[in-house]
């Protein structure tokens, strides 16, 4: 049986060889009964990553090299790898050697025991405090509508071919990998691990990319934003009604409360700000609908070797 690995690559020169060495070593040991395929997807890297991938392909036919025309993002690279992989099981793994490769034999064992999806989820990470804080807040909000997602999130996953085929059949933009995978409802095993510190290169997963992934999760896989603005609208309307009643009672008692323009300006600014936030959120949904209607591909491949 064949096990495919999908490795999204962006500015990972130096780490590719180390990832390749660690993965192939497994098939000379615990996984010697299996064959392997390693699909490296170059997501528009400019640091020599593509040349390093080609050097591995030149000496190993088990390596598949996919090259994008430009940088399309990690999710696009993962999707391209998933559609290229031909294995009986497909494992998504990062190219920065922060995922514990020594867990792979255990993942394969769980798969052979009947699990259709094996998810390794993060219980801790050797990252900066700001990254840990953002992750905790983001997943805390996501779990309000998708409680089945582990608190630390995941992307180190083994998927059976049946799961992979279903995942690939979902044809939408702005995919939320974790939500789509758990939505399918296949038999799943969870394995906890602590994400290791990056030892080669520098992370390219900056705040804007984290925010984009968070918005994809909240807007595409959750009803929470719509319910939230509905709740805010209801609460604001009730507060306005109470304010009006209090003014009417005060007038009936012979005095006028809240004299001057300051209270009026406060109310105008508050309601105006809420309206702008709500319009912005609705605009996000409209823009995503427009993206779906245009049906542009998630990525463009220059070549596959």
Higher pLDDT, 293 or 213: 293
* DSSP calls for 152-186: T-EEEEEEEHHHHHHHHH---SS--HHHHHHHT--
The winner for highest mean pLDDT among 127-136, 218-227, 237-246 is: 237-246
Write out the two tokens for 130.
């700001």
The structure tokens listed for 118 are 């094996």
Q: Tens digits of per-residue pLDDT, 42-92?
A: 999 988 899 999 999 999 999 999 999 999 888 899 999 999 999 999 999
Please provide the DSSP assignment of the chain as one string. -EEEEEEEESS-TTHHHHHHHHHHHHTTTTTTTSEEEEEEEE-S--SSHHHHHHHHHHH-TTEEEEEESS---HHHHHHHHHHH---SEEEEEETTS-S-GGGHHHHHHHHHTT-SEEEEEEEEE-S-HHHHHHHHHHHHHHTTT-TTS-TT-EEEEEEEHHHHHHHHH---SS--HHHHHHHT---EEEEEEEEPPP-SS-----HHHHHHHHHHHHHHS-SHHHHHHHHHHHHHHHHHHHHHHHHHHHHHTT---S-SSHHHHHHHHHHHHHHHHHHHHHHHHHHHHHHHHHT--S--EEEE-
The pLDDT score that the predictor gives to residue 261 is: 67
Question: 2-206+299-304 sits in which CATH class?
Answer: alpha beta
Q: How confident is the model at residue 201 (pLDDT cuts 50, 70, 90)?
A: low
Round to whole Å and give the CA distance between 57 and 284. Answer: 41
Counting every residue written for the chain, the total comes to 305
For the chain, the structural domain boundaries read 2-206+299-304, 224-294
pLDDT digits (tens, 9 = 90+) for 96-110: 777 888 899 999 999
């Amino acid at each position: 049986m064949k096990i495919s690995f999908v490795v999204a690559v962006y500015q990972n020169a130096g780490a590719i060889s180390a990832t390749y060495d660690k993965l192939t070593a497994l098939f000379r040991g615990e996984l010697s009964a299996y064959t392997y395929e390693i699909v490296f997807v170059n997501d528009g890297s400019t640091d020599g990553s593509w040349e390093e991938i080609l050097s591995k392909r030149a000496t190993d036919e088990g390596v598949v090299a996919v090259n994008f025309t430009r940088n399309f993002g990690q999710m696009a690279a993962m999707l391209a790898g998933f559609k290229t992989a031909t294995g009986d099981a497909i494992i998504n793994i990062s190219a920065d050697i922060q995922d514990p490769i020594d867990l792979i034999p255990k993942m394969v064992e769980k798969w052979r025991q009947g699990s259709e999806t094996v998810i390794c989820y993060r219980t801790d990470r050797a990252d900066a405090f700001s990254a840990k804080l953002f992750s905790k807040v983001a997943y805390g909000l996501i779990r309000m509508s998708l409680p089945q997602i582990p608190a630390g999130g995941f992307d180190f996953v083994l998927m059976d071919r049946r799961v992979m085929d279903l995942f690939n059949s979902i044809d939408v933009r702005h995919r939320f990998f974790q939500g789509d995978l758990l939505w399918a409802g296949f038999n799943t095993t969870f394995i906890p691990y602590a994400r290791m510190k990056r030892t080669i290169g520098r992370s390219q997963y900056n705040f804007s990319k984290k925010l984009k992934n968070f918005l994809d999760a909240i807007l595409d896989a959750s009803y929470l934003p719509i319910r939230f603005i509905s709740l805010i609208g209801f609460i604001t309307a009730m507060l306005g009604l109470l304010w009006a009643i209090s003014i009417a009672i005060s007038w009936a008692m012979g005095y006028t409360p809240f004299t001057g323009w300051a209270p009026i300006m406060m109310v105008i600014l508050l309601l105006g700000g809420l309206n702008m936030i709500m319009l912005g959120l609705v605009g996000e949904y409209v823009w995503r609908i427009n993206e779906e209607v245009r049906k542009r591909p998630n990525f463009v491949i220059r070549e596959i070797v």
